[in-house]
Amino acid sequence: MGQGSSGLRRLFREVAKFGAVGGAGVLVNLGVFNLVRQATDLQVVRASVIATVVAIVFNYVGFRYFTYRDRDKSRRTREMSLFLLFSVIGLVIENGLLYTATYGFGWDSSLQSNIFKFLGIGIATLFRFWSYRTWVFRALPVREEPVAGGGATAVGERLRQRVP
């Protein structure tokens, strides 16, 4: 139970940190979305894509330096490439829902746009959490510490040293 509850505790901390960064990212996303909609004549989905891109940059910094700061940093180019790939898929999910609501059903009021933007963010977040933790911010392999004074590994190592 000790090892299982430790893993559960780590997962809970990871979800909490992901949620904190993601929650701030949602505020950035919705804030930029509404600012662009009020300040420009851009169509709703274009404004949403701009807001999503700003939030993606914000979230990368938060995930790399807060949520997943203890994860493998050795392959940063690979990490950023995968992050962008999965973020773009999330962008399509998020804005696809908004596009469908706006142009498929004609739901284009400010309230309706914000509701579908928020729902799209929620669905895309589930995908992003899974993909980021599985593929992008990979956990470092757990090192097994040798048991002091013996153990099967230590005994095997001593036997190999004695064989000519």
Task: Tell me the percentage of the chain whose pLDDT exceeds 70.
Answer: 82
Specify the pLDDT at position 24: 97
What average pLDDT is seen over the chain?
A: 86
pLDDT digits (tens, 9 = 90+) for 6-43: 888 988 998 899 899 999 999 999 999 999 999 999 99
Task: Tell me the percentage of the chain whose pLDDT exceeds 90.
Answer: 60
Q: Which residues of 129-144 are buried (b: 16+ CB within 10 A; e: fewer)?
A: bebbbeebbbeeeeee
Q: How far, in Å, CA of 39 to CA of 25, rounded?
A: 21
The residue that leads in pLDDT, 67 or 32, is 32
pTM of the model: 0.77
pLDDT digits (tens, 9 = 90+) for 127-156: 998 998 888 887 776 666 555 555 555 444
* Contact call for residues 54 and 28 (beta carbons, < 8 A): yes
Q: Is the pLDDT of residue 59 over 70?
A: yes
Specify the pLDDT at position 16: 93
